[in-house]
Structure 1
Amino acid sequence: MTAATTPWANILDFWFPEGCSLDVEAEPHRDHWSWRLHGGADTVIVERFADLTRGAASGELDAWAVDPEGRLALIVVLDQFSRSLWRGTPRAFAQDPAALSLAIVGLSNGHYESLKTPWFRIVYSQPFGHCEGADHLQRIDLLISLREEIALQAPVPLQPIYRSLVKQAGDVRKIIAAFGRHPHRNQVLGRQSAPEEESYIAAGDFPHQRAFQG
């Protein structure tokens, strides 16, 4: 998928085994992404990419962002590998602002538009929903709009999967509108949960766990 000489080739080849081909089967594609985004790849990420993830978190790989695929790889590392490497600790979410900044700039400089597959664009845009902040609702509205476009442009056999991600983003929006943050992170981040958040957490029905399950 990527030139072997690029420093980010291994990341993209690992995270996107489909490569750039749009000729993929829907069920294996959905199952792969559901497994991967729900922690299935944690062990491999820690074994293969721990040092690289620490370097990215320290800003050592910022120069990658001059290239569209390098920017995508940085987003993968900061938004996804960080969650695997530091799962269950506050540091799992500490890279969210950096990933968001990369995604915002890439929307304006053409990097996002240059990405050719729906899975590249979905992963690229995840920081809009992941990163907490005062503008969270506006960013999720943008995320929903991007996902609607992705679903329309996806190969017909894959469209139900990508339409389900539009709904999933809408479900996340309801949570942010109600609480202003992701309550499921409260314990890890040492935050006090409001009574309404406690009820939501106790129910255990979190929208982020529904990704790629449609």
Structure 2
Amino acid sequence: MTAARRPWAADLLHYWFHELEPRQWFASDEVVDRELRRRFEGHLAALRVRPATEFLSDRETARAAILLFDQVPRNLFRDDARAFATDPLAREICKAALRKRWDNGLSHAGKQFVYMPLMHSEDIADQRLSLRLFASLGDSFNFRFARSHHAMIARFGRFPHRNELLGRRTTEAEARAIAAGNAW
């Protein structure tokens, strides 16, 4: 089933890349969060239990699914462990899309969001791949974030700023890293 037959996918891609401005992608914005909740929370709830293969029929559906499972929860569930609950599904779709080379020919922004689940991963192999992919974009701003995410995983094996939400104990070194601004 293509994105054209999945109205949620076409709607999400249009909303994210044409209705939002780039400055809104990572900002804490109640208006954006409310609109994402209204338009996509039901799809997130219904589709999060589906296998990754269901979203790999075409490039546009895969891109939309990556957004739905990686970015949308971060907007809908700020300061809540549910923000990370669908990260594994987003990563699985991301990696499959990369194997299919579906990032080829995408705009800079399109590639950035295909790669984002790797930056959000607490697995060092994913972080290494994230570094390579973000470096290939030639964008020092995003590469700086990829490097800082990698540094936290290389140092701690996890993102310390997630500890409280995920019920993990924070070490003194992790607390210092968070205080130094390593919380995104």
TM-score (norm. length: structure 2): 0.87
Deviation at 1:3, TM superposition (A): 7.4
- What is the aligned counterpart of 1:180 among 153, 157, 166? 157
Question: Any runs of at least 4 consecutive aligned residues in structure 1 with deviations exceeding 6 A, and if so which?
Answer: none
Q: Is the 8 A contact 2:161 2:183 kept in 1?
A: no
* Equivalent in the alignment of 2:60: 69
Q: Report if the CA contact (8 A) 1:55-1:61 is conserved.
A: no
Residue 141 (structure 1) shift: 1.9
The corresponding residue for 2:14 is 13
Structure 1 residue 89 corresponds to structure 2 residue 80: yes
User: CA, structure 1 residues 13+103, in 2 after alignment: closer, same or farther (shift >3 Å)?
Assistant: same
Relative to 1, partners in 2 of residues 1:3 and 1:181: Cα closer, same or farther, differing over 3 Å?
Answer: closer
Q: Which runs of 5+ in 1 are unaligned?
A: 19-28, 152-161, 209-214
For the pair 1:150 / 2:137, whether they are aligned, the reply is yes
Question: Paired residue for 2:108, among 95, 111, 118?
Answer: 118
Report SS of the residue matched to 1:78.
helix
Deviation at 1:6, TM superposition (A): 4.2
How many pairs are equivalent? 180
- Aligned-residue offset at 1:62: 5.4
Whether the aligned pair in 2 keeps the contact of 1:171 and 1:207 (CA below 8 Å) is no
Match of 2:28 in 1: 39
Name the structure, 1 or 2, with higher relative contact order (CA <8 Å, separation 6+): 1
The residue aligned with 1:139 is 126
Corresponding residue for 1:163? 140
2: distance between equivalents of 1:49 and 1:63?
Answer: 18
Whether the 8 Å contact between 2:119 and 2:127 is mirrored in structure 1 is yes
Question: What is the one-letter code of the residue matched to 2:89?
Answer: A
> Residue type matched to 2:120 in 1?
H
SS of match in other structure, 2:102: coil
Q: Do 1:144 and 1:166's aligned partners in 2 also have CA atoms closer than 8 Å?
A: yes
Change (3 A) 1:171 1:60: closer
Task: Give the conservation status (yes or no) of the 8 Å contact 1:86–1:92.
Answer: yes
Shift of 1:120: 0.7
Q: CA deviation at 1:73?
A: 0.2
2:28 alignment partner, SS class: helix
Q: Which amino acid aligns with 2:136?
A: E
Q: Percent identity?
A: 28
Q: CA deviation at 1:63?
A: 2.4
Tell me how far apart the structure 2 counterparts of residues 118 and 54 of structure 1 sit (CA, whole Å): 29
CA distance, structure 2, for counterparts of residue 57 and residue 140 of structure 1: 23
Task: Give the counterpart letter for 1:37 in structure 2.
Answer: F
Superposed CA offset, 1:117-139 (max 9, x none): 0101100111111122xxx2222
